[in-house]
Structure 1
Amino acid sequence: MVFIQIPPLRERQKDLETLIGHFLNKCNHSLNKNINTISSNVMEIFHTYRWPGNVRELEHVIEGAMNMVQNNGVIKKEHLSVHINSFGNKNDILSSNNHLSQKNDLFMPNEKNENRDNNKNTYEKSNEKIVSEIIPESIPDHPINLAQLQTENEVRTICQALKDSRGNAAKASRQLGISPQLLHYKMKRYDINRMDYKPAPKNSSE
Protein backbone atom coordinates (compact mmCIF):
# COMPACT_ATOMS: atom_id res chain seq x y z
CA MET A 1 0.00 0.00 0.00
CA VAL A 2 1.44 3.37 -1.05
CA PHE A 3 0.52 6.63 0.67
CA ILE A 4 1.01 10.14 -0.66
CA GLN A 5 1.70 12.76 1.99
CA ILE A 6 -0.42 15.83 1.25
CA PRO A 7 0.10 18.97 3.36
CA PRO A 8 -3.02 19.64 5.47
CA LEU A 9 -5.04 22.37 3.82
CA ARG A 10 -5.56 24.07 7.19
CA GLU A 11 -1.79 24.67 7.26
CA ARG A 12 -1.78 26.25 3.79
CA GLN A 13 -4.28 29.07 4.32
CA LYS A 14 -2.18 31.48 2.27
CA ASP A 15 -2.57 29.16 -0.73
CA LEU A 16 -6.30 28.58 -0.32
CA GLU A 17 -7.37 31.23 -2.83
CA THR A 18 -4.94 29.87 -5.44
CA LEU A 19 -6.42 26.39 -5.00
CA ILE A 20 -9.96 27.75 -5.26
CA GLY A 21 -9.07 29.46 -8.52
CA HIS A 22 -7.50 26.23 -9.78
CA PHE A 23 -10.60 24.17 -8.98
CA LEU A 24 -12.93 26.79 -10.46
CA ASN A 25 -10.99 26.59 -13.73
CA LYS A 26 -10.95 22.79 -13.63
CA CYS A 27 -14.68 22.49 -12.93
CA ASN A 28 -15.57 25.17 -15.48
CA HIS A 29 -13.82 23.03 -18.07
CA SER A 30 -15.36 19.71 -17.00
CA LEU A 31 -18.87 21.13 -16.45
CA ASN A 32 -18.75 23.47 -19.46
CA LYS A 33 -19.57 26.48 -17.31
CA ASN A 34 -18.20 29.96 -16.70
CA ILE A 35 -18.39 30.56 -12.95
CA ASN A 36 -15.60 32.66 -11.47
CA THR A 37 -17.21 34.50 -8.57
CA ILE A 38 -17.72 33.48 -4.93
CA SER A 39 -19.57 35.49 -2.30
CA SER A 40 -17.47 36.86 0.55
CA ASN A 41 -19.35 34.89 3.24
CA VAL A 42 -18.53 31.64 1.40
CA MET A 43 -14.87 32.66 1.33
CA GLU A 44 -15.01 33.31 5.08
CA ILE A 45 -16.39 29.80 5.61
CA PHE A 46 -13.65 28.34 3.41
CA HIS A 47 -10.97 30.16 5.42
CA THR A 48 -12.38 29.01 8.76
CA TYR A 49 -13.40 25.42 8.00
CA ARG A 50 -10.79 22.80 9.02
CA TRP A 51 -10.99 20.68 5.82
CA PRO A 52 -10.56 17.18 7.30
CA GLY A 53 -10.79 15.78 3.76
CA ASN A 54 -7.97 18.08 2.65
CA VAL A 55 -7.75 19.40 -0.94
CA ARG A 56 -10.04 16.70 -2.32
CA GLU A 57 -12.83 17.84 -0.01
CA LEU A 58 -12.32 21.43 -1.19
CA GLU A 59 -12.53 20.29 -4.81
CA HIS A 60 -15.71 18.28 -4.18
CA VAL A 61 -17.34 21.18 -2.31
CA ILE A 62 -16.58 23.59 -5.17
CA GLU A 63 -17.72 21.11 -7.81
CA GLY A 64 -20.95 20.44 -5.91
CA ALA A 65 -21.64 24.15 -5.54
CA MET A 66 -20.97 24.82 -9.23
CA ASN A 67 -23.54 22.18 -10.14
CA MET A 68 -26.09 24.25 -8.22
CA VAL A 69 -25.23 27.58 -9.84
CA GLN A 70 -26.41 28.82 -13.20
CA ASN A 71 -23.79 29.75 -15.77
CA ASN A 72 -22.06 33.09 -15.03
CA GLY A 73 -23.58 32.99 -11.54
CA VAL A 74 -22.11 33.49 -8.08
CA ILE A 75 -21.37 30.68 -5.62
CA LYS A 76 -23.30 31.54 -2.47
CA LYS A 77 -23.73 29.94 0.93
CA GLU A 78 -26.96 28.18 -0.06
CA HIS A 79 -25.08 26.35 -2.82
CA LEU A 80 -22.70 24.64 -0.39
CA SER A 81 -23.11 21.05 0.78
CA VAL A 82 -25.09 20.53 3.98
CA HIS A 83 -22.15 19.90 6.34
CA ILE A 84 -20.26 22.99 5.14
CA ASN A 85 -23.41 25.10 5.32
CA SER A 86 -24.11 23.83 8.84
CA PHE A 87 -20.57 24.77 9.85
CA GLY A 88 -21.20 28.30 8.61
CA ASN A 89 -24.42 28.49 10.61
CA LYS A 90 -22.72 27.32 13.83
CA ASN A 91 -19.91 29.84 13.55
CA ASP A 92 -20.40 33.56 13.29
CA ILE A 93 -17.94 33.66 10.42
CA LEU A 94 -18.31 37.22 9.22
CA SER A 95 -18.09 38.77 12.68
CA SER A 96 -15.17 36.69 13.98
CA ASN A 97 -12.98 36.68 10.86
CA ASN A 98 -12.22 39.24 8.21
CA HIS A 99 -10.11 37.64 5.50
CA LEU A 100 -11.90 39.79 2.93
CA SER A 101 -12.82 43.42 3.04
CA GLN A 102 -16.41 43.84 4.20
CA LYS A 103 -16.85 46.39 1.41
CA ASN A 104 -16.12 43.71 -1.17
CA ASP A 105 -19.08 41.35 -1.34
CA LEU A 106 -17.64 39.18 -4.11
CA PHE A 107 -14.40 37.27 -4.55
CA MET A 108 -12.97 36.51 -7.99
CA PRO A 109 -9.81 34.37 -7.65
CA ASN A 110 -9.13 34.47 -11.39
CA GLU A 111 -9.95 38.15 -11.86
CA LYS A 112 -7.60 40.01 -14.17
CA ASN A 113 -5.94 43.20 -13.02
CA GLU A 114 -3.24 45.48 -14.37
CA ASN A 115 -0.48 44.38 -12.00
CA ARG A 116 -1.25 40.73 -12.62
CA ASP A 117 -1.31 41.19 -16.40
CA ASN A 118 2.08 42.95 -16.34
CA ASN A 119 3.58 39.96 -14.52
CA LYS A 120 1.44 37.25 -16.10
CA ASN A 121 4.16 34.64 -16.59
CA THR A 122 5.54 35.06 -13.07
CA TYR A 123 2.04 34.97 -11.58
CA GLU A 124 0.98 31.85 -13.49
CA LYS A 125 4.22 30.01 -12.74
CA SER A 126 3.87 30.85 -9.04
CA ASN A 127 0.33 29.49 -8.97
CA GLU A 128 1.33 26.36 -10.88
CA LYS A 129 4.11 25.73 -8.36
CA ILE A 130 1.72 26.10 -5.42
CA VAL A 131 -0.84 23.74 -6.98
CA SER A 132 1.79 21.13 -7.89
CA GLU A 133 3.16 21.17 -4.34
CA ILE A 134 -0.24 20.63 -2.75
CA ILE A 135 -1.76 18.35 -5.39
CA PRO A 136 0.92 15.87 -6.54
CA GLU A 137 0.49 14.56 -10.08
CA SER A 138 0.44 10.99 -8.75
CA ILE A 139 -2.89 11.54 -6.99
CA PRO A 140 -5.59 9.80 -9.06
CA ASP A 141 -8.04 12.15 -10.75
CA HIS A 142 -11.14 10.19 -9.76
CA PRO A 143 -13.44 11.07 -6.84
CA ILE A 144 -12.26 9.96 -3.40
CA ASN A 145 -14.94 9.91 -0.72
CA LEU A 146 -14.37 11.03 2.85
CA ALA A 147 -14.60 7.48 4.22
CA GLN A 148 -11.71 6.40 1.99
CA LEU A 149 -9.62 9.38 3.08
CA GLN A 150 -10.30 8.58 6.73
CA THR A 151 -9.34 4.93 6.21
CA GLU A 152 -6.06 5.85 4.54
CA ASN A 153 -5.27 8.31 7.31
CA GLU A 154 -6.05 5.68 9.98
CA VAL A 155 -3.80 3.09 8.34
CA ARG A 156 -0.99 5.62 8.00
CA THR A 157 -1.33 6.62 11.67
CA ILE A 158 -1.31 3.01 12.91
CA CYS A 159 1.76 2.19 10.81
CA GLN A 160 3.57 5.24 12.15
CA ALA A 161 2.75 4.25 15.76
CA LEU A 162 4.08 0.74 15.16
CA LYS A 163 7.20 2.19 13.60
CA ASP A 164 7.72 4.51 16.58
CA SER A 165 7.22 1.62 19.03
CA ARG A 166 9.43 -0.74 16.98
CA GLY A 167 6.58 -3.18 16.54
CA ASN A 168 5.43 -3.15 20.17
CA ALA A 169 1.63 -3.24 19.90
CA ALA A 170 1.07 -2.34 23.57
CA LYS A 171 3.17 0.82 23.25
CA ALA A 172 1.56 1.64 19.91
CA SER A 173 -1.94 1.36 21.39
CA ARG A 174 -0.97 3.73 24.23
CA GLN A 175 0.44 6.21 21.72
CA LEU A 176 -2.78 6.02 19.71
CA GLY A 177 -4.97 6.30 22.80
CA ILE A 178 -6.91 3.11 22.08
CA SER A 179 -7.10 -0.31 23.72
CA PRO A 180 -4.74 -3.11 22.60
CA GLN A 181 -7.80 -5.13 21.58
CA LEU A 182 -9.02 -2.36 19.28
CA LEU A 183 -5.56 -1.94 17.79
CA HIS A 184 -5.30 -5.68 17.07
CA TYR A 185 -8.75 -5.57 15.46
CA LYS A 186 -7.73 -2.70 13.19
CA MET A 187 -4.40 -4.34 12.34
CA LYS A 188 -6.24 -7.49 11.29
CA ARG A 189 -8.81 -5.47 9.35
CA TYR A 190 -6.14 -3.56 7.42
CA ASP A 191 -3.74 -6.52 7.15
CA ILE A 192 -1.00 -4.77 9.11
CA ASN A 193 1.69 -7.02 10.59
CA ARG A 194 3.48 -5.56 13.60
CA MET A 195 6.46 -7.84 12.92
CA ASP A 196 7.22 -5.74 9.86
CA TYR A 197 8.14 -2.93 12.24
CA LYS A 198 10.33 -4.87 14.66
CA PRO A 199 14.07 -4.21 14.32
CA ALA A 200 16.03 -6.88 12.49
CA PRO A 201 17.88 -9.25 14.86
CA LYS A 202 21.60 -8.67 15.18
CA ASN A 203 23.89 -11.18 13.56
CA SER A 204 25.40 -13.33 16.35
CA SER A 205 28.62 -13.75 14.39
CA GLU A 206 29.33 -10.02 14.56
Structure 2
Amino acid sequence: MPTGVAMRDARERLFDAAERVLLRDGPSALTSRAVTAEAGCAKGVLHRHFADFDAFLAELVRDRVRRIEGRGAALRASAGTGDLVGRLADELTDLFESVAVAIVGLVTSRDGLRARLRRERPIGVPLLTDAAGVLASYLAAERDLGRLAPDADVDVVAPTLIGAAHLLFADRTGPPPDADAVRRTVAAVVGGVVREG
Protein backbone atom coordinates (compact mmCIF):
# COMPACT_ATOMS: atom_id res chain seq x y z
CA MET A 1 0.00 0.00 0.00
CA PRO A 2 1.46 3.40 -0.91
CA THR A 3 2.62 5.68 1.89
CA GLY A 4 0.10 8.33 2.84
CA VAL A 5 -2.99 6.36 1.81
CA ALA A 6 -5.40 5.80 4.69
CA MET A 7 -6.10 2.17 5.52
CA ARG A 8 -9.60 1.44 6.79
CA ASP A 9 -9.94 -0.97 9.72
CA ALA A 10 -6.17 -1.37 9.99
CA ARG A 11 -6.27 -3.40 13.22
CA GLU A 12 -8.76 -5.94 11.86
CA ARG A 13 -6.89 -6.18 8.60
CA LEU A 14 -3.64 -6.84 10.45
CA PHE A 15 -5.30 -9.41 12.74
CA ASP A 16 -6.79 -11.25 9.76
CA ALA A 17 -3.41 -11.21 8.00
CA ALA A 18 -1.72 -12.60 11.12
CA GLU A 19 -4.25 -15.43 11.27
CA ARG A 20 -3.63 -16.33 7.64
CA VAL A 21 0.16 -16.41 8.18
CA LEU A 22 -0.26 -18.39 11.38
CA LEU A 23 -2.55 -20.98 9.80
CA ARG A 24 -0.54 -21.30 6.61
CA ASP A 25 3.04 -21.14 7.93
CA GLY A 26 2.88 -21.66 11.71
CA PRO A 27 3.99 -19.59 14.72
CA SER A 28 7.68 -19.46 13.75
CA ALA A 29 6.81 -17.63 10.51
CA LEU A 30 4.75 -14.96 12.25
CA THR A 31 6.81 -11.76 12.10
CA SER A 32 5.79 -8.13 11.75
CA ARG A 33 7.13 -8.15 8.19
CA ALA A 34 5.13 -11.29 7.32
CA VAL A 35 1.95 -9.78 8.78
CA THR A 36 2.27 -6.44 7.01
CA ALA A 37 3.20 -8.12 3.73
CA GLU A 38 0.14 -10.37 4.02
CA ALA A 39 -2.03 -7.34 4.85
CA GLY A 40 -0.57 -5.42 1.92
CA CYS A 41 0.58 -2.47 3.97
CA ALA A 42 3.77 -0.78 5.12
CA LYS A 43 5.45 -2.11 8.27
CA GLY A 44 4.93 1.26 9.92
CA VAL A 45 1.16 0.69 9.96
CA LEU A 46 1.55 -2.05 12.55
CA HIS A 47 3.81 0.09 14.71
CA ARG A 48 1.45 3.06 14.43
CA HIS A 49 -1.27 1.00 16.11
CA PHE A 50 0.79 -1.14 18.52
CA ALA A 51 3.83 -0.41 20.72
CA ASP A 52 5.69 -3.50 19.48
CA PHE A 53 5.04 -6.86 17.88
CA ASP A 54 4.32 -8.66 21.16
CA ALA A 55 1.73 -5.94 21.96
CA PHE A 56 0.15 -6.65 18.57
CA LEU A 57 0.11 -10.40 19.22
CA ALA A 58 -1.32 -9.92 22.72
CA GLU A 59 -4.13 -7.80 21.29
CA LEU A 60 -4.76 -10.44 18.61
CA VAL A 61 -5.19 -13.05 21.36
CA ARG A 62 -7.43 -10.70 23.39
CA ASP A 63 -9.55 -10.00 20.31
CA ARG A 64 -10.05 -13.70 19.64
CA VAL A 65 -10.91 -14.26 23.32
CA ARG A 66 -13.56 -11.52 23.06
CA ARG A 67 -15.05 -13.33 20.07
CA ILE A 68 -15.31 -16.54 22.08
CA GLU A 69 -16.85 -14.71 25.02
CA GLY A 70 -19.31 -13.04 22.64
CA ARG A 71 -20.52 -16.44 21.49
CA GLY A 72 -21.08 -17.42 25.13
CA ALA A 73 -24.27 -15.38 25.50
CA ALA A 74 -25.88 -17.14 22.54
CA LEU A 75 -24.73 -20.51 23.84
CA ARG A 76 -26.19 -19.85 27.31
CA ALA A 77 -29.44 -18.67 25.71
CA SER A 78 -29.71 -22.02 23.94
CA ALA A 79 -29.68 -23.94 27.23
CA GLY A 80 -32.66 -26.24 27.62
CA THR A 81 -33.14 -26.71 23.90
CA GLY A 82 -31.90 -29.18 21.34
CA ASP A 83 -29.34 -31.93 21.66
CA LEU A 84 -26.90 -31.05 24.44
CA VAL A 85 -24.14 -33.41 23.25
CA GLY A 86 -24.54 -32.26 19.66
CA ARG A 87 -24.44 -28.61 20.66
CA LEU A 88 -21.23 -29.13 22.65
CA ALA A 89 -19.67 -31.05 19.75
CA ASP A 90 -20.58 -28.23 17.37
CA GLU A 91 -19.18 -25.56 19.69
CA LEU A 92 -15.92 -27.43 20.14
CA THR A 93 -15.62 -28.01 16.40
CA ASP A 94 -16.24 -24.31 15.70
CA LEU A 95 -13.63 -23.36 18.28
CA PHE A 96 -10.92 -25.71 17.09
CA GLU A 97 -11.55 -25.39 13.37
CA SER A 98 -10.92 -21.67 13.82
CA VAL A 99 -7.50 -20.29 14.55
CA ALA A 100 -7.59 -21.43 18.20
CA VAL A 101 -5.12 -24.32 17.86
CA ALA A 102 -2.66 -22.09 16.03
CA ILE A 103 -3.01 -19.32 18.63
CA VAL A 104 -2.32 -21.80 21.42
CA GLY A 105 0.87 -22.79 19.57
CA LEU A 106 1.77 -19.13 19.21
CA VAL A 107 1.28 -18.39 22.91
CA THR A 108 3.31 -21.40 23.99
CA SER A 109 6.15 -20.63 21.58
CA ARG A 110 6.67 -16.92 22.35
CA ASP A 111 7.98 -16.17 25.84
CA GLY A 112 7.40 -12.40 25.56
CA LEU A 113 3.80 -12.83 24.49
CA ARG A 114 3.12 -15.41 27.20
CA ALA A 115 4.64 -13.14 29.88
CA ARG A 116 2.52 -10.21 28.70
CA LEU A 117 -0.68 -12.28 28.78
CA ARG A 118 0.20 -13.78 32.18
CA ARG A 119 -0.16 -10.31 33.73
CA GLU A 120 -3.88 -10.48 32.95
CA ARG A 121 -4.40 -14.25 33.02
CA PRO A 122 -2.05 -15.84 35.53
CA ILE A 123 -3.65 -19.27 35.24
CA GLY A 124 -4.26 -21.48 32.24
CA VAL A 125 -3.69 -21.08 28.52
CA PRO A 126 -5.32 -17.94 27.13
CA LEU A 127 -8.16 -18.65 24.74
CA LEU A 128 -8.55 -22.26 25.89
CA THR A 129 -9.15 -21.21 29.50
CA ASP A 130 -11.61 -18.59 28.30
CA ALA A 131 -13.40 -21.13 26.10
CA ALA A 132 -13.64 -23.46 29.10
CA GLY A 133 -15.24 -20.63 31.07
CA VAL A 134 -17.84 -20.13 28.35
CA LEU A 135 -18.61 -23.87 28.29
CA ALA A 136 -18.82 -24.00 32.11
CA SER A 137 -21.36 -21.16 32.07
CA TYR A 138 -23.45 -22.99 29.47
CA LEU A 139 -23.20 -26.27 31.38
CA ALA A 140 -24.24 -24.51 34.60
CA ALA A 141 -27.34 -23.21 32.81
CA GLU A 142 -28.11 -26.73 31.59
CA ARG A 143 -27.59 -28.06 35.14
CA ASP A 144 -29.98 -25.41 36.50
CA LEU A 145 -32.58 -26.59 33.97
CA GLY A 146 -32.17 -30.21 35.08
CA ARG A 147 -30.49 -31.50 31.91
CA LEU A 148 -27.31 -32.25 33.88
CA ALA A 149 -27.06 -33.95 37.25
CA PRO A 150 -27.40 -31.49 40.15
CA ASP A 151 -23.93 -32.41 41.40
CA ALA A 152 -22.25 -32.09 37.97
CA ASP A 153 -18.97 -30.21 38.48
CA VAL A 154 -19.11 -28.00 35.41
CA ASP A 155 -15.79 -26.38 36.34
CA VAL A 156 -14.15 -29.77 35.78
CA VAL A 157 -16.30 -30.98 32.89
CA ALA A 158 -15.72 -27.85 30.76
CA PRO A 159 -11.90 -27.91 30.74
CA THR A 160 -12.01 -31.68 30.27
CA LEU A 161 -14.06 -31.12 27.11
CA ILE A 162 -11.58 -28.46 25.94
CA GLY A 163 -8.59 -30.72 26.58
CA ALA A 164 -10.12 -33.74 24.89
CA ALA A 165 -11.18 -31.71 21.84
CA HIS A 166 -7.79 -30.01 21.66
CA LEU A 167 -6.14 -33.41 21.38
CA LEU A 168 -8.46 -34.31 18.51
CA PHE A 169 -7.68 -31.11 16.58
CA ALA A 170 -4.06 -30.50 17.64
CA ASP A 171 -2.39 -31.77 14.48
CA ARG A 172 -2.97 -28.82 12.18
CA THR A 173 -1.14 -30.58 9.32
CA GLY A 174 -3.50 -33.55 9.15
CA PRO A 175 -7.22 -33.76 8.43
CA PRO A 176 -9.55 -32.61 11.19
CA PRO A 177 -11.49 -35.27 13.09
CA ASP A 178 -14.85 -36.18 11.68
CA ALA A 179 -18.05 -35.07 13.38
CA ASP A 180 -18.68 -38.54 14.79
CA ALA A 181 -15.30 -38.60 16.56
CA VAL A 182 -16.00 -35.24 18.19
CA ARG A 183 -19.49 -36.29 19.23
CA ARG A 184 -18.21 -39.60 20.70
CA THR A 185 -15.58 -37.69 22.70
CA VAL A 186 -18.15 -35.24 24.06
CA ALA A 187 -20.54 -38.07 24.91
CA ALA A 188 -17.79 -39.90 26.80
CA VAL A 189 -16.88 -36.80 28.82
CA VAL A 190 -20.44 -35.75 29.75
CA GLY A 191 -22.06 -39.19 29.71
CA GLY A 192 -22.06 -39.54 33.48
CA VAL A 193 -23.81 -36.22 34.11
CA VAL A 194 -26.30 -35.78 31.22
CA ARG A 195 -29.92 -36.26 32.32
CA GLU A 196 -31.76 -35.71 29.04
CA GLY A 197 -33.68 -38.42 27.24
When normalised by structure 1's length, the TM-score is: 0.23
**Which structure dedicates a bigger proportion of its chain to helix?**
2
Based on CA coordinates, which of the two structures has the bigger radius of gyration?
Answer: 1
